[in-house]
Amino acid sequence: MVGGDWSNSRYSALAQIDPENVHRLGGAWVSAKFIDGATSRTPLVVKDGMIFVTAGRHVYAIDAETGRVIWTYNTVPDAQAAQFAPSKENDRAAANSTMGVPNGKGVGVGGGMVFVGLKDGHVIALNEISGSLEWASQTGVEHPKSGQWAAVAPTYANGVVFSGLSDGDHNLRGRMVALSAKTGKVLWSIFSIPGPGERGHETWPSSNDAWKVGGGGVWTNPPIDPDLGLIYFTAGNAVPAYGGDWRPGANLYTCSVIAIDIKTGKLRWHFQLVHHDVFEADLGVPIILYDARVSGRSRKALAVMRADGHLFQLDRATGQPILQIEERAVPQSDSQQTSPTQPFPVGGESILMGCDDWRKQPIPKGFILGCMFTPPSTPPPSPDPQNVLAPFPSAKGGLMAFSPRTGYFYTQAASWLHWPRRSQDPYFLNWVGVLPGFRSFADLAAIDSRTGKIAWRRRTENVAPGSGPLVTSSNLLFHSGGDGHLNAYDAKNGDVLWSFGLGAAAGPVATYEIRGEQFLAVAAGSSLWAIKIGGSIPPAASLAGMTGGVNFPGAMVDTDEVETTSLHRSLIEPGARYFIDEFTFSPSRARAKSGATLLFVNNGNMRHEVVSVDGSWGTGALAPTQEAWVKFDEPGSYTYICKDHPWSYGQIVITPAQSSGEGVSTAPPLRSDGGLQRASQSTRGRQEYQQSCSACHGEDLGGRASAPSLVGQGFMSRWGASTARELYENIRTTMPQSSPGSLKRQAYLDIVAFLLDMNEVGEAGKELQDDPNVLDSTRIQQRHDTR
């Protein structure tokens, strides 16, 4: 299992690699590159001498001793296809499939089969030896809507496969499902949001049907206690995420631990960690089962990480606290119908940075600082302040480990600030807003199970935290960071004992033994690495410095017009949803040639006055519909704000004008309304991106939820050692998530050109062609020109 066993503890009894010899580790083998230029940070499962991993649209079985690929299975055999190949065993499932790529959470193995959750709601079973399809079962609706995921690594136990469905941020309810491992038949299926007549339904309003699309997505692989006959799920945030006024009440069973009877699918107990969630506080870290010592006696317990970085420890038979929990007052908002209190572990400490930590850090001028449970603001004419930054509840999405030797839980998370605002439409989840000078911090920490306090912590700046530690009986902790290194730590105190370059951001580590040798294995970039004592393969080149040239968020647009207000469109909520944002310029990043005159238009409903942060230029006060022209003669980068709302930021980049003999393009620039007669490839790619990609990855390319950032360090850490062909093949065969390969090949090429341009990598102005030689020769490396 992804978590090692039914406990999810990610603890290994192997001890051949220890603090004394860890410095002798070297590469044992590196697998062939994944198909289609795919990359992976997926957790690995090792069984019967094989490593099982997913990358892009493929599932792989790899020889754990040599790295040889034994078999692959393509979940989307033809990038244009929309059906599974029919099979005698499951014609109906085949006929109703819309094809999905693996969910990236890892697989489950048992009963001679490999079980994989897909991003269209299907769970499939593959023959462990041959990789052939045994069955495919839809765990969601028969005609999947965008966003419906079988979002966990399936858990296998005694002939049953357990999975979870997440469509919580879209238009359904989360779901917990049990299937026959032999046939895929659904044995039981229950929603995480109770319906009429079910216990907990009274915590939803009777005045509307918000519960029908109430959220509670299931994102984490569930552990099992076979003695108690229970399986444990976590349910995510309530929906609409920032629309608390639409769903007053505690909103069970969102943000809850849910204990389910394995045989019947009946709810045995629950514990809600966030009442009436308006903070997007998914429970996204898998539960760990362990044995606690309470008053000298052993007690069956579980640990669950809340998204704000607090660890809760509960009796797994009853759901009662192992360590004391109290209700504390939190900031209130009448417009959000907030809960007056939230539960906190007494004496416990969060692994994330809190208000006191952030007060020591500079924040963008014009903003004020809130705390973790500061509610999102509602738009004008609401009296809510519109410029509050708050720590994001980001302790989710990774894996956690527990060592019975140290009694410590090991976990990681990235601390960062966000700008929580509710739009006019409660179902629009607003992740937009320009925050220049953005800073984030990554933490790897040990939490003492006996006290709930942090035993040790390692914090770094602007480095992705990786995706899950592994701890061994030799008191070693292995953790792969977003900087491309696999590190070994002393599990007792956090000292770094060894580091090895993998050349790409990596996923969680697995360990196993073959012929008396202990191996480590990890997915990094486009390959698997295996490492052992005395391995002869040297580390890969460091990713240091590969951050791209972008330090101001948002996509660059060639234009001669900037508007004071933006219309954001989201395609991942129920239908297309819109948000009129009075505090984000459109575009937020504009580019023009020296000597250009830019038009600033107030297309909002409030007064705006655009001024340079250095005071060198301004538009004067602009009432609604008014406009002003500003001429820019000198090349450079100009940051500006709205004087009336100094938290509204924009950037103008003025490039040197070229002489007539330097190949000046005669194509008109793209205006903010999208009108143009002839566009560059990058401009075409921007239009394709906004239509097909921005709903998940953000209009500013900054990423959202499980969709990674496509600009800056996040992009470069993943693609900085690759070619344009690898990026093109990866996007072409796996995107959009709901319909991989559905765009024309030229559209995918244009999107790649746009991404290269936004990250200022590759050769400026070079037209990408559907030619392997051209794409292979285009390296994703930082430009050295002066564009």
- Domain architecture of the chain: domains with CATH: 556-777 (2.60.40.420)
The model's pLDDT over 424-459, given as tens digits with 9 standing for 90+, comes to: 888 887 666 677 877 788 899 999 999 999 999 998
Burial of 628 (0-12, 13-18, 19+ CB in 10 A): middle
| CA distance linking residue 223 with residue 26, whole number of Å | 33
What is the CA angle 411-413-414, rounded to 5? 160
Average confidence (pLDDT) over 651-674 = 54
Instruction: Find the DSSP H helices in 519-667.
Output: none
The model's pLDDT over 556-579, given as tens digits with 9 standing for 90+, comes to: 888 999 999 998 887 666 667 888
Range ranked top by mean pLDDT from 258-262, 481-485, 773-777? 258-262
pLDDT value of residue 726: 82
pLDDT value of residue 669: 41
- pLDDT surpassing 60 at residue 482: yes
Q: Residue 119 contacts by C-beta under 8 Å, 6 or more apart in sequence?
A: 100, 101, 102, 103, 149, 150, 737, 738
Residue 38 Cα to chain centre, angstroms: 17
Q: Residue 395 contacts by C-beta under 8 Å, 6 or more apart in sequence?
A: 284, 285, 305, 306, 307, 308, 309, 350, 351, 352, 411, 413
Whole-angstrom CA distances from 210 to 203, 257, 423, 679 are 11, 21, 17, 44
Which of 209, 178, 213 has the alpha carbon at shortest distance from 193? Answer: 213
pLDDT value of residue 284: 92
The full DSSP string for 254-313 is: TTEEEEEETTT--EEEEEESSSS--S-----S--EEEEEEETTEEEEEEEEE-TTS-EEE
The dihedrals phi and psi of 697, each to the nearest 5 degrees, come to -90, -5
| CA distance linking residue 16 with residue 67, whole number of Å | 21
pLDDT value of residue 662: 35
What is the CA angle 18-22-26, rounded to 5? 135
List the structure tokens of 718.
């993943």
Average confidence (pLDDT) over 36-48 = 93
The full DSSP string for 128-144 is: TTT--EEEEEE-S-SSP
Whole-angstrom CA distances from 363 to 211, 299, 416, 437, 538 are 37, 45, 11, 8, 41
For residues 388 and 549, the model is more confident at: 388
Q: In what order do the strands lie in the sheet with 561-563?
A: 561-563, 596-601, 627-632
Q: Residue 771 contacts by C-beta under 8 Å, 6 or more apart in sequence?
A: none
What's the pTM value of the predicted model, to 2 decimals? 0.90
For residues 463 and 249, the model is more confident at: 249
Within 10 Å of residue 232's Cβ, how many Cβ atoms?
A: 26
Q: Which residues pair with 247 in a beta bridge?
A: none
Q: Are 25 and 511 in contact (CB under 8 A)?
A: no
pLDDT value of residue 663: 33
pLDDT value of residue 145: 59
The model's pLDDT over 272-293, given as tens digits with 9 standing for 90+, comes to: 999 999 999 989 999 999 999 8
Q: Residue 508 contacts by C-beta under 8 Å, 6 or more apart in sequence?
A: 2, 10, 43, 44, 398, 399, 466, 467, 468, 469, 470, 480, 522
Average confidence (pLDDT) over 746-753 = 89
| CA distance linking residue 754 with residue 748, whole number of Å | 10
Average confidence (pLDDT) over 407-422 = 93
Q: Residue 707 contacts by C-beta under 8 Å, 6 or more apart in sequence?
A: 696, 697, 698
Residue 701 Cα to chain centre, angstroms: 13
pLDDT value of residue 84: 38
Local confidence band at 541 (pLDDT 50, 70, 90 cut-offs): confident
List the structure tokens of 118.
């897909």
pLDDT value of residue 463: 58
- pLDDT surpassing 80 at residue 464: no
Q: Are 464 and 442 in contact (CB under 8 A)?
A: yes
Query: Which one-letter DSSP state was computed for residue 445?
Result: E
Whole-angstrom CA distances from 392 to 501, 553, 708 are 30, 18, 16
List the structure tokens of 445.
């920490």
Average confidence (pLDDT) over 549-554 = 63
| CA distance linking residue 193 with residue 213, whole number of Å | 9
Q: Are 414 and 462 in contact (CB under 8 A)?
A: no
The model's pLDDT over 319-354, given as tens digits with 9 standing for 90+, comes to: 999 999 999 999 999 999 999 999 999 999 999 999
Residue 275 Cα to chain centre, angstroms: 23
Average confidence (pLDDT) over 370-383 = 90
Range ranked top by mean pLDDT from 160-174, 464-478, 639-653? 639-653
Enumerate helices (H) and strands (E) in the chain, giving the number of each.
8, 48
| Average pLDDT in the chain | 87
Total residues belonging to the chain: 787
The model's pLDDT over 607-643, given as tens digits with 9 standing for 90+, comes to: 999 999 999 999 999 999 999 999 999 999 999 999 9
| CA distance linking residue 549 with residue 687, whole number of Å | 22
> In whole angstroms, how large is the CA radius of gyration of the chain?
26
Average confidence (pLDDT) over 591-605 = 96
- pLDDT surpassing 80 at residue 175: yes
Of the listed ranges 13-17, 205-209, 458-462, the one predicted with least confidence:
458-462
Return contacts of 320-323, CB within 8 angstroms, 24+ apart. 321/345, 322/292, 322/294, 323/347, 323/348, 323/451, 323/452
pLDDT value of residue 76: 86
- pLDDT surpassing 80 at residue 754: yes
Rounded to the nearest 10 degrees, the angle between the axes of helix 745-758 and helix 681-692 is: 100
List the structure tokens of 321.
């606290």
- pLDDT surpassing 90 at residue 658: no
- pLDDT surpassing 60 at residue 144: no
Q: Residue 327 contacts by C-beta under 8 Å, 6 or more apart in sequence?
A: 341, 342, 343, 344
pLDDT value of residue 548: 40
The dihedral over CA atoms of 629, 634, 639, 644, expressed in degrees to the nearest 10, equals -30
Of the listed ranges 84-93, 252-261, 405-414, 448-457, the one predicted with least confidence:
84-93
Average confidence (pLDDT) over 47-75 = 96
Cis geometry, peptide bond prior to residue 587 (ω within 30 degrees of 0): yes
Give residue for tokens 């009429």: 196
What is the percentage of the chain residues whose pLDDT exceeds 70?
Answer: 87
| CA distance linking residue 559 with residue 569, whole number of Å | 20
| CA distance linking residue 606 with residue 613, whole number of Å | 21
The dihedrals phi and psi of 718, each to the nearest 5 degrees, come to -95, -35
Burial of 517 (0-12, 13-18, 19+ CB in 10 A): middle
Question: Element (H or E) spanning 369, and its range?
Answer: strand 368-369
Query: Which one-letter DSSP state was computed for residue 200?
Result: T
Query: Which one-letter DSSP state was computed for residue 19?
Result: T
pLDDT value of residue 710: 84
Question: Element (H or E) spanning 690, and its range?
Answer: helix 681-692
Cis geometry, peptide bond prior to residue 240 (ω within 30 degrees of 0): yes
Question: Element (H or E) spanning 653, and its range?
Answer: strand 649-655
The dihedrals phi and psi of 194, each to the nearest 5 degrees, come to -70, 145
Residue 215 Cα to chain centre, angstroms: 17
List the structure tokens of 77.
């055999």
For the chain, the distance separating the N- and C-terminal CA atoms, rounded to the nearest angstrom, is: 49
The model's pLDDT over 675-710, given as tens digits with 9 standing for 90+, comes to: 333 358 888 888 888 778 876 777 777 766 567 778
The dihedrals phi and psi of 227, each to the nearest 5 degrees, come to -70, -40
List the structure tokens of 657.
């004008």
Average confidence (pLDDT) over 757-783 = 77
What is the CA angle 82-84-90, rounded to 5? 140
- pLDDT surpassing 70 at residue 787: no
| CA distance linking residue 464 with residue 613, whole number of Å | 30
